[in-house]
Amino acid sequence: MTRKVSRRTIIAGLGATGLAPLVARADTKSMFAGKAVRLVVEYQAGSPPDLVGRLIAPRLADMLGGTFIVDPRPGAGGRIAAQVVAGAPADGTTLLLMTASQTVIAMTDPDVRYNLLKDFQFVSMVAEYPFFVFTSGKSEYKMLAALLDGARRKPGKITYASSGVGTTTHLAMEMLLKQAGVTMVQAPYPGGPQMIADAENGVVDCSLANLGAVKGLAEAGDVRLLAATSKERDPLAPTIPTVAETLPGYDVTTWIALAAPAGMPAQIVDALNVAARKAMAEPEIRERLTSVGFSPATNTPDEMRARVAADIAKWSPFGTLLR
């Protein structure tokens, strides 16, 4: 007599022999086998998010099967890339390497064509990092407290460079100034290189940037790092104090995360989350990321959704700056 045995029974039996993980791995790979998966990036080729994408795409392909292709879609501060993914099929073949700038867009742009919390399935954070407040190496301001005192003594005279109106660097500095009770004049730039060069040369009094963008200049003495925006000192620059050491409670970090269109099946979300966690734990990837000032970081889909919601709430008091 032939008895039909369920797949679940087979896997349970294999578990006793230690072969269940092999079956699970085969099942995971079958989800992506023969598929081309687009990993859409919000910024241009060569940008930090693009670098992260090109580091993790081969590892996701190795673990999940299929072909993972990095697809930069720069423009409109990340809106173009996000719109592409929000409108894509929720089958795992189109993913977004989302940046924290999306939480600023969600709070400041009433005309944006997607809803961050409704139109995306979050998979996992992959990197997190603070900004650093910095001045020219020749500046008279050697500590954050001295820079803020200068703003008090010379209201409307101290300038800071941002990477554009409505960017995270803009709002991070405005949050700092509000907490300190001082004002500075914003000088918005269309991107990072010229902004950093003008802060280095004293054209503006200070600016914010990620560590990778200014580390070499700081080591050469061309710029001076005054403070990290994270709550705790950055392990990649432990000698640099935090803003919170001058202004208790201040805490701003930015992030890069893996996301997908809303409605993606749970089994695909789980497979991507596990693969992302494994990739970010690999020594080679961790070393490459830390070399550009990023700390590898992962979390669960629910934790990532909560982080997005919390960041939107954090920036909401500053929405009037942009309207």
Q: What is the pLDDT of residues 239-276, one digit of tens each?
A: 999 999 999 999 999 999 999 999 999 999 999 999 99
% of the chain exceeding 90 in pLDDT: 77
- Burial environment of residue 266 by CB neighbours within 10 A (0 to 12, 13 to 18, 19 or more): exposed
Residue 86 has pLDDT above 60, yes or no: yes
Query: Across residues 221-244, what is the average pLDDT?
Result: 97
pTM (predicted TM-score) = 0.86
Kindly indicate the confidence band of residue 320, based on its pLDDT and cuts at 50, 70 and 90. low
Domains and CATH numbers, the chain: 33-129+255-322 (3.40.190.150), 131-245 (3.40.190.10)
Beta bridge partner(s), residue 260: 121
Kindly indicate the confidence band of residue 1, based on its pLDDT and cuts at 50, 70 and 90. very low
Average pLDDT, the chain: 89
Higher pLDDT, 192 or 40: 40
Residue 76 has pLDDT above 60, yes or no: yes
Lowest-confidence region among 28-32, 91-95, 129-133, 313-317? 28-32
Higher pLDDT, 125 or 24: 125
**Angle of helix 20-30 versus helix 266-280 axis, rounded to 10:** 110
- Per-residue pLDDT of 273-282, as tens digits, reads 999 999 999 9
Compute the C-alpha angle 104/109/111, nearest 5°: 145
- Burial environment of residue 305 by CB neighbours within 10 A (0 to 12, 13 to 18, 19 or more): middle
Residue 317's pLDDT is 87
- Token pair for 287: 């070393």
